[in-house]
Each structure stands twice: as C-alpha cells, then as structure tokens.
Amino acid sequence: MDYKQILQNEEVRAFLKKGNANLGVLGYTDHSEKHCAIVASQAAHILEEFGYSEHEVELVRIAGFMHDIGNAVNRRNHGEYGAILANGILEKEGMPLADRVEIVSAIGNHDESTGGSIDALSAALILADKTDVRRSRVRNKDKTTFDKHDRVNYAVTQAKLKLNPEKGSITLNLQIDEKICTMYEYFEIFLGRMMMCRRAAEVLGAKFKLTANGSKVL
C-alpha cells in the first residue's frame, strides 16, 4: 500500500469529490484533490526536512491526501469521520494495523475545532493543511459578494513555508493585499489555525513564525 495507490483509489477520490462539492454549497473554499495533493506533498517535505524516516514520510503523504474525506459525511467533526473512513479503506487495501493507526490518528486530529498535534505525523499534517492559504482556493468569482473568508483567502497573493531545521524554525511568509482585507480580518479568521501551527512546530522541536508583508507577526 503506497501513495500512488491511494491517488488512484476510487473510494478516496469519490469521498473527496463529494466532500468538496458539499463544502462548495456551504460556501467554503476549495477542498478538492488539488488541495489534498498540496497538503500531502508539503507534509511529506516537512518530515523529510526534519529527518524523519522514509516510512513516516510515506505515511504522512497518505494521510495528507486522505485528510478531508470526512467532509463527504459532514463538515462538523470531519476529521473524526475521515479517520473512520480512512481506516476502512486502508484495511481493505491490506495496510498493516500499525500504519493504519498512525494515519487515522493524524487525520482525526487535523482540525482545529477538536484536534491538535500529538505526534510528528499529526504535526506535519496540521502545518501543511493550515498553511495552504492562496487566492486560487476561493471559488466565488464575484468579488462584490465575497464574505470575509473569501476576502481573506483572496487577499493572500503569496504564501511560502520556510523550513530551517538547523535553526529550529518553521516560518510562514505571507504577502497580503491590504486593499482587499485588513490584517485584523486575516487574524480574525486564521489566528486559531496559526496557534495550532505553533503547537505543531513545537512537536517537531521547532518554533513557528509568521511574517506578513515583511513584518514579523507571530
């Protein structure tokens, strides 16, 4: 059972497609396969940079791609729903119990409403997920009808996650168009997620930093 197989798994793709469609109706930003692939790649990169094994990197890559399948059930508690769905899919694919447990735990703890970093896999998943902030995630094309979530995401013209294991730092560098949203609005939406990232960085033995338009914020 590897990441390439998960990318082609019909159940995973069906749950992601339905979950993304559900969230679109509810007015959420993009949570499609593209988002999940970005999260998978970034989470794997984080563990690679911080010296984790190839096996752990592969597990977090799988968790990253599957992390939002629970949205097909309900947005509320989607981490927990996703963990249960993931276990069933991975069991059918023959993944060993020990690996399933690690992936299920990471998925079940990735959402800020009920989760948190409890190990390296969950920490990397959280960092990758919460820092995927970009204009292209906004589905609404009519700027006159943007809500604050649309404005905040659309205002981010660039987001880069810089990893520095030697100095023990993980830094999210943002460029924000303050004509679209104020810094206050940004933090009204994202402060909880950024605090979650701070805890995740600590689990990896690092400090989380945030800069916006060149100025240190966190």
Contact partners, residue 57, CB within 8 Å, separation at least 6: 44, 47, 48
Instruction: Give the pLDDT score at 185.
Output: 87
Phi, psi of 50 (to 5 degrees): -95, 15
Instruction: Give the pLDDT score at 209.
Output: 96
For residue 174, the cross-strand partners are: 159, 212
**Positions of E strands within the chain:** 156-164, 169-176, 207-212, 215-216
Which residue blocks in 33-77 are alpha helix, DSSP H? 33-49, 54-66
To which H or E segment does residue 202 belong? helix 183-203
Instruction: Give the pLDDT score at 88.
Output: 98
Q: Which residues of the chain have pLDDT under 70?
A: none
Instruction: Give the pLDDT score at 176.
Output: 94
From 200, 207, 193, 188, select the one nearest 159 (Cα to Cα): 193
pTM of this structure: 0.96
CATH class of 3-216: mainly alpha
Q: Which two tokens stand for residue 63?
A: 């968790």
